[in-house]
Every structure is written in structure tokens, then in C-alpha cells.
Structure 1
Amino acid sequence: MIFLLFIALLAKTALADDSHESQFYSFSPQVGSGQGVSYAITGTGRITGVRVWDANSNVIHGFQFRYGHTWTDVVGREWDQKQEIELFDNEVIVAISGKYGHNIQSVVFTTSLGRSLFAGQPSGHSFNMYPENEKAELRFISGRFHGAITSFGAHWGVVTEPYGTNLLTNTTHE
């Protein structure tokens, strides 16, 4: 519970610079068992890439986001198969869906251009996450990890930089 309060405070602080932005903030509550070490993937600006690691197309083991040109640290671990999507200019994450049991079994990140990144095996309980306001996009995720990703929730908001300012001139991978 303290972790959720911390994340809510972090989100409110991140959006406090522009009171206009805070009206677009929403949170999709965490799904999964919630065991293990807490994490949050945050960055500056718009999300421009997503990586997901799944083991034998079964359980989600790790996440990594790129904000602008910079990849975050991996949460969880790099294990087995890596799925990746690089977003185009004017493209944002507008929905996350998937399945969960004790761990996150599968995840689908869907973009504003109708493209999707799919990882894992679709078995378990279904979940769907999306912003409460149509102008919002995925800003960051938070959750818990214990051998695999055991839970995550999505934080939605607006980005102050206008569309088209995250031009990717260097798309090399790590």
C-alpha cells in the first residue's frame, strides 16, 4: 500500500509542473499476485520504444522502455525471447491488455496507429488497461517482480512536448 501511495505521489509530482496535465492523469490498478520487489519504469518525455522478455512464450520476465533516445534499465530480467516495438513519430501507447495468474502470463501493448507488441502465452485472467481521457498516453508502469513479473499497473497522462518532436535520427540498438 505504501508503494502505491509512493507511485501516486511520484505521478502527481511529475505532472505538477502543468496543472493542465494533471487533469488527464489516470491509473490502471495493478494486476497479478504482487509478490516480490517493487519497481517503476519512468523517464522524461514520450515513450518511443518497448521491450518485453518472455520465457518460452509463457511468462513475462522483464520490461524496458525507451524515452526519446534513451533506454531505461530493465526491470525484472532479460530472459529467453525479447519482443520489441519502436514507435513512429506521432505514435503513442494507448492500451495494454493481457492475461495473468500468479505472474503476468501475457501482455499486448497497442499503439495509436493500431500496431501491437505481443509477448507471452494468453492463459489466465484477462485484463485491459487504458487511459480515462482520450488525450492521454502511457507515461510509465509500476509493479512487482519475483523471478518473473508478478504484477504491474499503468500510469496515463499527457506529454507536454508536441507530436513530432521526438524525431528518431539514431535508431541503433544496445
Structure 2
Amino acid sequence: MIFLVFIALLSGTALADVWHDAQSYSFSQQVGTGNGLSYAITGTGRITGVRVWEANNNFIYGFQLRYGYTWTDVTGLKLGQKQEIILFDDEAIVAIWGKYAFYIQSVVFTTNLGRSLFAGRPVGHSFNMYPADENGELRFISGRFQGAITSMGAHWAIVTDPYRRNGKYLQ
């Protein structure tokens, strides 16, 4: 009987840990038409850089994220001009806003230090994405693409980074 009580306490602790983690996660609904192939750009640790490809100051054609020192594969196309932001230590993406019509027309990634990456042409319906928790930051993005990016959504969490010590990335 004592063994069962011990197992129940361990299970309750594990459930509380899972519930706490669930409270620090939020999702910003996808915007756009959502046509084409689905994507999710994920990695390990914190996001440390963002690249966006735009063509002729118009549609968003591709995304790439950097986690630690490693860039993900490009989602979409490397078409047009590349816009890039490399984050400072302890800097994080805390908001995404922009415009969409059939494609994602423009996107702005904003950091907790007030810096932004702007790409595309601001025409269409507006969107704003941000974490539900004030300590949250961008964890990954997902959506669909068909030539250009047709939709995107943002996934937010409070990130603890096993690859950092004293604010510096381990090599």
C-alpha cells in the first residue's frame, strides 16, 4: 500500500510538472490562406537568428531560423532579397506582426530589446502574434507554402537553454 501511495505521489508530481510546462506554452493561430505544403521550423535551444526572403518588396518567399550556432534548412524559397537579424545574448523574438492576403505579404520580427527585422510589402490584412506569458519567446514557426509562404503561425514558450552558461553559448 505504501508503494502505491509513493507511485501516486510521483505521478502527481510529474503531472504538475507537465501542467506547469503547458502553462508556459502558447500558440498564435495561423494567418493566410494555408494552401500548399506544410512546414514547421524547429531546433534545439533558443532562436539566435532569423532570415526572411522577399521578392521585389512583395511576398515572403522563405524563412530560416538559427538555434544556437546552427541554421535550419530554408522553408520555402531563397527567392529575392534576404533580410537577416542575428540576436544578441539574452535577446529573444517577442512579437511578430505583418500583413497577409493570399500570401504572407510582409512580416516583422521584434525582439525584447526593441530591434526588428522588416521584410515584404505591408499590404493586406493585419496580424499580430505574441506569447500569452510575458516571459515567453518565439520557439518555432509553422504554416504552409506554395511558391511563396501562404500561411504562418507562431509557437511561444519560456525557454531554458541547455547550451548556454552565464549568458554565453557553449562551443
User: Considering the TM-score relative to the shorter chain, is it more than 0.5?
Assistant: yes
1:80, distance to aligned residue in structure 2 (A) = 1.0
Within 2, Cα distance between the matches of 1:70 and 1:163?
Answer: 12
Q: Which string of whole-angstrom CA distances, capped at 9 and with x for unpartnered residues, describes residues 92-135 of structure 1? A: 00000000000000000000000000000000000000001101
Within 2, Cα distance between the matches of 1:103 and 1:167?
Answer: 37
1:158, distance to aligned residue in structure 2 (A) = 1.1
TM-score calculated relative to the size of structure 2: 0.85
**2:112 is the counterpart of 1:112:** yes
Within 2, Cα distance between the matches of 1:167 and 1:55?
Answer: 35
Residue number in structure 2 paired with 1:167:
168
Residue number in structure 1 paired with 2:37:
37
Residue number in structure 2 paired with 1:146:
146
Residue number in structure 1 paired with 2:81:
81
Give the partner amino acid of 2:158.
V
| Identical aligned residues as a percent | 70
1:75, distance to aligned residue in structure 2 (A) = 0.2
Within 2, Cα distance between the matches of 1:158 and 1:134?
Answer: 9
1:44, distance to aligned residue in structure 2 (A) = 0.4
1:22, distance to aligned residue in structure 2 (A) = 2.2
1:162, distance to aligned residue in structure 2 (A) = 7.7
Q: Any stretches of 5+ residues in structure 2 without a counterpart? A: 1-14
1:163, distance to aligned residue in structure 2 (A) = 10
Within 2, Cα distance between the matches of 1:168 and 1:110?
Answer: 21
Structure 1 runs of 4+ with >4 Å offset: none
Question: Aligned to 1:22, what secondary structure does the other structure show?
Answer: helix
Is residue 135–residue 158 contact of structure 1 (8 Å, CA) maintained in 2? yes
Question: Aligned to 2:144, what secondary structure does the other structure show?
Answer: strand
Question: Aligned to 2:168, what secondary structure does the other structure show?
Answer: coil
1:65, distance to aligned residue in structure 2 (A) = 0.2
Q: 1:28 to 1:66 in 2, by over 3 A?
A: same
Within 2, Cα distance between the matches of 1:169 and 1:26?
Answer: 28
Superposition CA RMSD, Å: 1.9
Residue number in structure 2 paired with 1:6:
none
Give the partner amino acid of 2:36.
G
Is residue 90–residue 163 contact of structure 1 (8 Å, CA) maintained in 2? no
TM-score calculated relative to the size of structure 1: 0.84
Give the partner amino acid of 1:161.
D
Within 2, Cα distance between the matches of 1:136 and 1:78?
Answer: 29
Give the partner amino acid of 2:159.
V
1:168, distance to aligned residue in structure 2 (A) = 5.4
**2:65 is the counterpart of 1:65:** yes
Within 2, Cα distance between the matches of 1:106 and 1:56?
Answer: 12
Number of residue equivalences: 154
